[in-house]
Amino acid sequence: MPTRFSQLSHHLYVHHGHVNTGILRDGNRALLIDPSGTTLHTTLVALEITSVEQILFTHHHRDNTAGFPTLDNVRVGVPSKAAAWFSEVETFWNDSKYRWHLYNYRPHNLMLADSIRVDDTHTEGAEMQWGPASLKVLETPGHTDESLTYLINVDGERFAFSGDLIYDEGQLWELYSLQKGQQTSDYHGFLGARDELRESLEKVRDASPTALIPTHGVVMRDPDKAIDVLLHRLADCYDKYVAISALRHYFPQLFTEFEGNAGHMPIREGKPPPEFLRHFGTTWLIISETGEAFVMDCGSPHVIKQIQRLQADDEISEVTQFWVTHYHDDHVDAIPEFQATFPCETITDSVVARVIINPTGFRLPCISPAVTRVDRITHDGDSWQWNEFTMTAYHFPGQTYYHAGLLVEGHGAKMFFGGDSFTMSGIDDYCSGNRNLLGKDVGYEKCLRLIQQLKPTHIFNCHVNPAFDFTDAEIECMLDTLAEREKCYTALFPWDHANYGMDEHWVRCYPYEQEITPGETAQLRLEITNHSSEPRTATAQPILPPAWDVEIDPAHTTIPPKADGDIDFSIPIPRSCEALGRIVIPIDFTYNARPLGQFREAIFVLT
Alpha helices in 493-529 (DSSP H): 498-502
When the beta carbons of 180 and 328 are compared against Zn ion, the nearer one is 328
CB of 66 to Zn ion, least distance (A): 12
DSSP secondary structure string for all residues of 541-556: EE---GGG---PPPEE
Residue 367, SS3 per DSSP: strand
Residue 199, SS3 per DSSP: helix
Residue 214 is given by DSSP the state -
When the beta carbons of 136 and 326 are compared against Zn ion, the nearer one is 326
Helix %, strand %, coil % of the chain (to 5):
25, 30, 45
Residue length, the chain? 607
Nearest to 430 by CA among 247, 263, 248, 239: 247
When the beta carbons of 164 and 169 are compared against Zn ion, the nearer one is 164
Nearest to 278 by CA among 462, 432, 104: 462
Of 44-52, 74-82, 324-332, 431-439, the window that binds Zn ion (rule: CB under 5 A) is 324-332
Here's the x/- map for Zn ion, 4-43, by CB under 5 A: it reads as ----------------------------------------
CB of 236 to Zn ion, least distance (A): 23
Q: Judge if the upstream peptide bond of residue 511 is cis by omega within 30 degrees of 0.
A: yes
CB of 282 to Zn ion, least distance (A): 8
Of 57-65, 150-158, 178-186, 191-199, the window that binds Zn ion (rule: CB under 5 A) is 57-65
CB of 166 to Zn ion, least distance (A): 12
When the beta carbons of 43 and 423 are compared against Zn ion, the nearer one is 423
- How many angstroms separate the first and last alpha carbons of the chain? 41
CB of 327 to Zn ion, least distance (A): 8
CB of 606 to Zn ion, least distance (A): 29
CB of 318 to Zn ion, least distance (A): 27
CB of 379 to Zn ion, least distance (A): 22
CB of 326 to Zn ion, least distance (A): 6
When the beta carbons of 61 and 363 are compared against Zn ion, the nearer one is 61
When the beta carbons of 427 and 516 are compared against Zn ion, the nearer one is 427
When the beta carbons of 176 and 386 are compared against Zn ion, the nearer one is 176
Lateral strand order in the sheet of 345-349: 277-280, 283-287, 293-296, 319-323, 345-349, 376-378
Here's the x/- map for Zn ion, 400-419, by CB under 5 A: it reads as --------------------
| Using rule CB under 5 A, residue 504 touches Zn ion | no
When the beta carbons of 178 and 522 are compared against Zn ion, the nearer one is 178
CB of 64 to Zn ion, least distance (A): 6
Q: Per CB under 5 A, which of residues 144..173 are in contact with Zn ion?
A: 164
Indicate which single residue of 174, 186, 329, 420 sits in contact with Zn ion (rule: CB under 5 A). 420
Reported in sequence order, the residue ranges of 448-593 that DSSP labels E, i.e. its strands, are: 458-460, 507-510, 513-516, 521-530, 536-542, 555-559, 563-572, 581-591
When the beta carbons of 420 and 429 are compared against Zn ion, the nearer one is 420
CB of 484 to Zn ion, least distance (A): 26
When the beta carbons of 393 and 571 are compared against Zn ion, the nearer one is 393
| Amino acid at residue number 564 | D
Q: Which residues of 461-482 are buried (b: 16+ CB within 10 A; e: fewer)?
A: bbbbebbbbbeeebbebbbebb
When the beta carbons of 420 and 513 are compared against Zn ion, the nearer one is 420
d(CA 19, CA 592): 16
Burial of 186 (0-12, 13-18, 19+ CB in 10 A): buried
∠ CA 571-363-372 to the nearest 5 degrees? 100
Nearest to 461 by CA among 426, 496, 435: 426
Here's the x/- map for Zn ion, 269-308, by CB under 5 A: it reads as ----------------------------------------
| Using rule CB under 5 A, residue 62 touches Zn ion | no
CB of 420 to Zn ion, least distance (A): 4
Reported in sequence order, the residue ranges of 90-230 that DSSP labels E, i.e. its strands, are: 120-122, 127-130, 133-139, 148-154, 157-161, 211-213
CB of 119 to Zn ion, least distance (A): 22
d(CA 537, CA 594): 10
When the beta carbons of 326 and 536 are compared against Zn ion, the nearer one is 326
User: What value does the CA radius of gyration of the chain take, rounded to a whole number of Å?
Assistant: 26
d(CA 3, CA 44): 9
| Using rule CB under 5 A, residue 61 touches Zn ion | yes
Alpha carbon of 435 to those of 70, 91, 359, 484, 487: distances in Å? Answer: 36, 27, 16, 18, 18
When the beta carbons of 328 and 485 are compared against Zn ion, the nearer one is 328
Of 54-62, 332-340, 438-446, 470-478, the window that binds Zn ion (rule: CB under 5 A) is 54-62
556 forms beta bridges with 539
Of 53-61, 255-263, 355-363, 509-517, the window that binds Zn ion (rule: CB under 5 A) is 53-61
When the beta carbons of 61 and 233 are compared against Zn ion, the nearer one is 61
Lateral strand order in the sheet of 12-16: 5-7, 12-16, 20-26, 29-33, 51-56, 75-79, 120-122
Could you tell me how many residues of this chain bind Zn ion (CB under 5 A)? 4
Q: Per CB under 5 A, which of residues 549..588 are in contact with Zn ion?
A: none
CB of 410 to Zn ion, least distance (A): 26
Indicate which single residue of 328, 395, 485, 497 sits in contact with Zn ion (rule: CB under 5 A). 328
Q: Judge if the upstream peptide bond of residue 272 is cis by omega within 30 degrees of 0.
A: no
CB of 173 to Zn ion, least distance (A): 7
Residue 267 is given by DSSP the state P
When the beta carbons of 362 and 386 are compared against Zn ion, the nearer one is 362
Name the site residues for Zn ion (rule: CB under 5 A): 61, 164, 328, 420
